[in-house]
Amino acid sequence: MATLRRLPWYAIATTLLLAACLYYGWAFLQRTSIDVDGEVMHALFDDAMISMQFAKNFARGEGLVWNAGGARVEGFSNPLWVLIMSVVHLFPLKLTETSFYVKLISLACLFTNLFMVKGLAEHFSKNRLVPLAAIFLTGFYYSLNTWSLQGMEVGLQALLLSAALLLGLRALQQNRFQPWMYVLFSLLILLRMDSAAPTLAATMAFAWIDPNHRRKHLLWGAAAIFGTLLALTAWRYAYYGELLPNTYYLKLGSGSTVLRISIGLRRLWDFVWLGNWTLFALVLLLPILDRSKALLPLYAAILAQVAYSVYVGGDAWEHVGGANRFIAAVMPLFFVLYAHTLALLAGLVLSRFTRRPAWAAPLANLVVALWVAVSLFNFNDSVPENGLARWTLVANPIFTESSERYARMGILLGQITEPEAVIAVVTAGNLPYFSERTSVDLLGKNDPVIAHLPARINSSLFHPADFRPGHNKWDYAYSIGQLQPDVVAQIWEDTEEEAAPYLVNYEKYIIDGIPYYFREDSPYVRWELLPADGK
């Protein structure tokens, strides 16, 4: 007890808050577990499971391919994350266990990032409430936890970016150059090629505010960003025969750029509006309250990432609410700026007192703390479909139900087909991963024929939910009619009539309420295992 009394309150508060964030992250991870046939297991958000499929094949010596023994197609956009997933697959784990350890890696990234957030906040403010507020907002931010703990690389992206900026700012404060910042920038590019946007913006910001080392910033920045992009492109061309990932052609290779950007702007506005635009607007006051040029790299990284999100039309899952994958990665930086703004506004109010009463400062701190707590509710309130229940873990986090459904389907398909069977899928992650069957990607993420087709865009600025990047290209005449998979496990939503002419030689079965189409003459379907009452 005497030891505790000697500890400063800030150290105690920080330790307790970090422990609470870690506990919440662990509880969040546990709530994403699923039950399949009585077995408690883990699966990731389906897009992350596509990366897992590549990682599984790579760890088994099949190469970086989606189908073992199949064509080389770069159906992922996160090479470093795929390599990390591959390391997990080197251990003697069942397929039902691997996803848990990927989630655990993400949890470690999220927790480590809290220390980076603390360091950034302490760099800008001597007010001890600022780091605590930034940690609190980051640690309990639903969107960041969702994307990270459901298997995406967002947690690692946030960590690398925060760590790089912290290194750069500390070096700036000491009037020295920090090359390790650019090493982390290079890793960010390896993690996601589109990380070039925030890293380039931050590089230019550092070059602007640090004239003593401007040349080094520009040279190291060019080497880290463009050198890494060039190396990735050379490797991609040598291995896949393409200059860009297949996902680029799928999402950006066709369609109206003007419409895509206009939808991206609308989606950004929806995100800001539903999260309470007045709270976001508060940060615009910070350049007036604090004229430090050191804030510029954070602003630059955030704005560049948001601009990229707008350019690509947002994400395919904007309907789930909250920050999309792109914006979630820079929200820790935003929370640092937000907490700093609140503290400066409180200080500005206190400065108006000629004779400040003893209770004024504690009261101001209490108001700031309550405001931060209310802000977190507002920032998380933009999640529809039981958003509050999901955030507080009363209900399962979003995507848990779909992961369970797709994992069940994959395991079932592995049971009712022979290893030689070919399966057509829409969700190209869990089904191929758990069935371990060669698959046909109806939406083209792993099929260059589909990826190079014109996009089917029936959306508008007033109906942005209809725009699903990466989910608006298909050709059933090719994927089903020509390739003739043994099983068509899924049809893209609202396209059953379009698919019907190519399913005439398929038998339809309803299994656990889900329709499957089995090719009548397929020798690779275990017909005796199909339910007699499912036809």
Per-residue 3-state assignment (H helix, E strand, C coil) for 426-459: CCCCHHHHHHCCEEEECCCCCCHHHHCCCCCCCC
Query: What 3-state class would DSSP assign to 259?
Result: helix
Give the pLDDT confidence of 19-34 residue by residue, as tens digits: 999 999 999 999 999 9
Q: Which residues 6+ apart lie within 8 Å of 221 measured at CB?
A: 182, 185, 199, 200, 203, 204, 206, 207
Give the pLDDT confidence of 376-430 residue by residue, as tens digits: 998 987 766 677 888 889 999 999 999 999 999 999 999 999 999 999 999 999 9
Give the pLDDT confidence of 178-189 residue by residue, as tens digits: 999 999 999 999
Give the pLDDT confidence of 172-213 residue by residue, as tens digits: 999 999 999 999 999 999 999 999 999 999 999 999 999 999
Q: What is the pLDDT of residue 120?
A: 97
Chain-wide mean pLDDT for the chain? 92
Q: What is the pLDDT of residue 472?
A: 85
Asked whether residue 217 carries a pLDDT value surpassing 80, the answer given is yes
For range 306-334, the mean pLDDT: 92
Confidence label for 98 from pLDDT (cuts 50, 70 and 90): very high
Measured from the Cβ of residue 270, the count of other Cβ atoms closer than 10 Å reads 16
Q: What is the pLDDT of residue 351?
A: 74
Confidence label for 466 from pLDDT (cuts 50, 70 and 90): low
Q: How far apart are CA 238 and CA 485, in angstroms?
A: 30
Q: What is the pLDDT of residue 7?
A: 57
Q: What is the pLDDT of residue 365?
A: 83
Confidence label for 464 from pLDDT (cuts 50, 70 and 90): low
Amino acid identity of 464?
A: P
Confidence label for 2 from pLDDT (cuts 50, 70 and 90): very low
Strand order in the sheet with 422-425: 438-441, 422-425, 487-488, 514-519, 506-511
Q: What is the pLDDT of residue 22?
A: 98
Per-residue 3-state assignment (H helix, E strand, C coil) for 137-201: HHHCCHHHHHHHHCCCCHHHHHHHHHHHHHHHHHHHHCCCCCCHHHHHHHHHHHHCHHHHHHHHH
Asked whether residue 280 carries a pLDDT value surpassing 50, the answer given is yes
DSSP structural state of residue 396: P
Asked whether residue 452 carries a pLDDT value surpassing 80, the answer given is yes
Confidence label for 246 from pLDDT (cuts 50, 70 and 90): very high
Find the range with the poorest average confidence among 63-67, 239-243, 387-391, 392-396: 387-391
At residue 375's C-alpha, the angle toward residues 12 and 271, to 5°, is: 135
Q: What is the pLDDT of residue 496?
A: 92
Which tokens belong to 395? Answer: 């209900």
Q: pLDDT exceeding 90 applies to what percent of the chain? A: 77
Find the range with the poorest average confidence among 72-81, 135-144, 273-282: 273-282
Q: Of all helices (H) and strands (E), which one includes residue 514?
A: strand 514-519
Q: What is the pLDDT of residue 362?
A: 80
Asked whether residue 5 carries a pLDDT value surpassing 60, the answer given is no
Asked whether residue 321 carries a pLDDT value surpassing 90, the answer given is no
Asked whether residue 459 carries a pLDDT value surpassing 60, the answer given is no
Asked whether residue 4 carries a pLDDT value surpassing 70, the answer given is no
Asked whether residue 248 carries a pLDDT value surpassing 50, the answer given is yes
Of residues 498 and 458, more confidently modeled: 498
Q: What is the pLDDT of residue 461?
A: 46
Residue 282 phi, psi (nearest 5): -55, -35
Q: What is the pLDDT of residue 460?
A: 47
Q: What is the pLDDT of residue 463?
A: 56
Q: What is the pLDDT of residue 535?
A: 73
Q: What is the pLDDT of residue 1?
A: 32
Q: How far apart are CA 517 and CA 314, in angstroms?
A: 33
Which tokens belong to 82? Answer: 């795929």
Q: What is the pLDDT of residue 3?
A: 44
Asked whether residue 231 carries a pLDDT value surpassing 80, the answer given is yes
For range 154-167, the mean pLDDT: 98
